[in-house]
Structure 1
Amino acid sequence: MASEVVAFFFDVVDAVKLLKACKGNGEEFINEFMSISKTSHVNSVALLEFCLKGNKKKALVYEFVLNGSLEKYIHNNDPVTNPPLSWERLHRIAKGITRGLKYLHRVCNTRILHFDIKPNNILLDKNFNPKISDFGLAKLCSKTHSIVTMLDARGTIGYIAPEVWNRHFGGASHKSYVYSYGMMILEMMGGKHNNINAEVTSHSSELYFPH
């Protein structure tokens, strides 16, 4: 019964995130819980409750964010339901995201690296204030270390910084989010998805770094 209630809320308000057992043997759940439980900022989504039952039932209960993700306003297919955002509002959203990132990187006792900044991970409240969400790929690290040790690349194709994807570009650090943030800003200005060519080979930089 409990799982049915959780599923109901997940479908209705998108405030409950269910994590499948196959996702990284629980790594994503631990990453998200450990990261979000350390945060308390107006530009970061708040975790209200969590549920952990064995390896099969994992759920994170977040505050309800009325206007959903930034992505649906950038790639707007229904101007009547989702009126276009003004340049002034987009500017305020961009500034709010930077405040949230600054908090994660400089204010928290343990630095939190999000590693998946993109439009659908930015939620907008009733006043269109942005809230950074989805910390499943986040990494906690000391503020004293400039280079972050990573066993594998993490993030979304089209937003991954070169040094995260390929070590030949240098070491990943807390500054690697700058690339992801920049790609998102370009998307906000252009109103269209990153121009990723799915036909190129998986080893081509063109897939990861769209023109």
Structure 2
Amino acid sequence: MILLILFFLLADGSQKKLVTGLILGFFLLVFVVITLYYVYNSNKLDRENTRKIEKFLEDYKALNPSRYSYVDIKKITNHFKDKLGQGGYGSVYKGKLSNEVLVAVKILNDSKGNGEEFINEVGTMSRIHHVNVVRLVGFCADGVKRALIYEFLPNESLEKFIFPTPIKNHSLGWEKLQDIAMGIAKGIEYLHQGCEQRILHFDIKPHNILLDQNFNPKISDFGLAKLCSKEQSAISMTAARGTMGYIAPEVISRNFGNVSYKSDVYSFGMLLLGMVGGRKNIDVTVENTSQVYFPEWVYTQLDQREEVHIRIEKEGDTKIAKKLTIVGLWCIQWYPIDRPSMKVVVQMLEGTGDNLTMPPNPFASIGPTKTNIKRPKKSLQQELTVVPELD
């Protein structure tokens, strides 16, 4: 290259044109080579991902969900005519199978990683058969085109019913909220104890709770799920996973304990408190600054035996609201060891709530320094043996 430049400086006009052409040709050749190398590597990666998914699907072909081609997906969705929603994963469309069964088809983005979330979801949901978990009807793995086909749930997600907006002002009564909370809890308990391997969801939040025509809840979106043995008390993770506001402290920093099934318990607690408050747990738009972080505000209200004015409409609502709140506060204890298992959560929700004790303050350890964190003196199991009446 240096010789070409020297030659260019010493040469006459015609020779300069020739050298200019050679230089331009050289750079064009380099560009073409780099482009071809990139395309080759990209195609190679796609082929490797496709082979990995094909091998996975071969192993799981006996687990019932049907496989469809991308042409089938177009027919099922009527060429993607009715869009239900969109997220970072891709888009969801309403569809209809040949037997007139309505379905929701999630089309994954072509660029969505190496297929890990697709494998997670198909592999996990093929193992699950529970009334409170959404049913996987089928899937598509056609080259880089991937889709997941679920039963269609007409009332969409819980989010639109507990976080009303000026456009969507839906609401649910307290008895129905209690039923929904119970259904979600039973679904998570099944994931933790009812399957051959324990399934950790890692993304429990209102958006991932779908409601059928009778408002029965079904847990969805297992793209971040992990499987482990029931004897495994902790799991390793290379990076935090989940949605901010619902992620347990130990998922972000191991200083707070090991990541385990208790991480889902924390997420459920935050979801439950969102249901009680009828708003995001963090809301900077509220007039009273003490209510910006709802979980801490409602803990203070209950701890000081003050009235919690939250959409109480009829007799009995206060009792349900208080029970759901106390259960939620138990679930969001800072340390995993101090949170109940989902089996205990179900028992707490099934009771009247009269004998539930207030949990230790889960916010006492939150501050600029965490070196002086004090553990609660009693565990949940010990606390439940002391049941003073709550006014």
TM-score (norm 2): 0.48
Residue 202 of structure 1 is matched in structure 2 by none
Question: What's the secondary structure of 2:177's corresponding residue?
Answer: helix
- Asked if 1:26 is matched to 2:115, the reply is yes
CA distance in 2, matches of 1:4, 1:196: 41
Residue 204 of structure 1 is matched in structure 2 by none
- Asked if 1:63 is matched to 2:151, the reply is yes
1:75 to 159, 163, 170: 163
Tell which has more relative contact order, 1 or 2 (C-alpha 8 A, sep 6+). 1
Residue pair 2:94, 2:152 contacting (<8 A) in 1 also = no
Q: Identity of aligned pairs, percent?
A: 56
- Asked if 1:53 is matched to 2:142, the reply is yes
Rg larger for: 2
2:216 to 129, 152, 169: 129
Deviation at 1:18, TM superposition (A): 1.2
**Letter of the structure 2 residue corresponding to residue 99 of structure 1:** K
CA distance in 2, matches of 1:168, 1:65: 40
Residue 186 of structure 1 is matched in structure 2 by 273
**Letter of the structure 1 residue corresponding to residue 138 of structure 2:** E
Residue 104 of structure 1 is matched in structure 2 by 191
Deviation at 1:12, TM superposition (A): 3.5
What whole-Å deviation, never above 9, does each CA across 1:67-104 have from its counterpart, x for those lacking one?
Answer: 1100000112268x764100000000000001000111
Deviation at 1:194, TM superposition (A): 2.8
Deviation at 1:144, TM superposition (A): 1.1
Residue 8 of structure 1 is matched in structure 2 by 81
What whole-Å deviation, never above 9, does each CA across 1:136-157 have from its counterpart, x for those lacking one?
Answer: 0000111110101111110001
- Asked if 1:175 is matched to 2:262, the reply is yes
Gaps of 5+ in 1: 198-209
Residue pair 2:241, 2:247 contacting (<8 A) in 1 also = yes
CA distance in 1, matches of 2:153, 2:169: 15
**Letter of the structure 2 residue corresponding to residue 136 of structure 1:** G
Residue pair 2:158, 2:206 contacting (<8 A) in 1 also = yes
Residue 233 of structure 2 is matched in structure 1 by 146
Deviation at 1:20, TM superposition (A): 1.5
CA distance in 2, matches of 1:156, 1:127: 27
CA distance in 2, matches of 1:47, 1:75: 27
TM-score (norm 1): 0.87
Residue pair 1:148, 1:174 contacting (<8 A) in 2 also = no
**Letter of the structure 2 residue corresponding to residue 12 of structure 1:** K
Deviation at 1:11, TM superposition (A): 3.2
Structure 1 pair 99–128 and aligned structure 2 pair: CA distance change class (3 A): same
Residue 38 of structure 1 is matched in structure 2 by 127
CA distance in 2, matches of 1:83, 1:158: 23
CA distance in 2, matches of 1:43, 1:139: 19
Matched residues, number: 197
Deviation at 1:4, TM superposition (A): 3.8
CA distance in 1, matches of 2:273, 2:170: 20
Please report the RMSD computed on the Cα atoms of aligned residues, expressed in angstroms: 2.0
Deviation at 1:23, TM superposition (A): 2.1
Residue 155 of structure 1 is matched in structure 2 by 242
CA distance in 1, matches of 2:169, 2:115: 36
Gaps of 5+ in 2: 1-69, 83-91, 96-102, 285-294, 297-391
**Letter of the structure 1 residue corresponding to residue 106 of structure 2:** K
Higher share in helix: 2
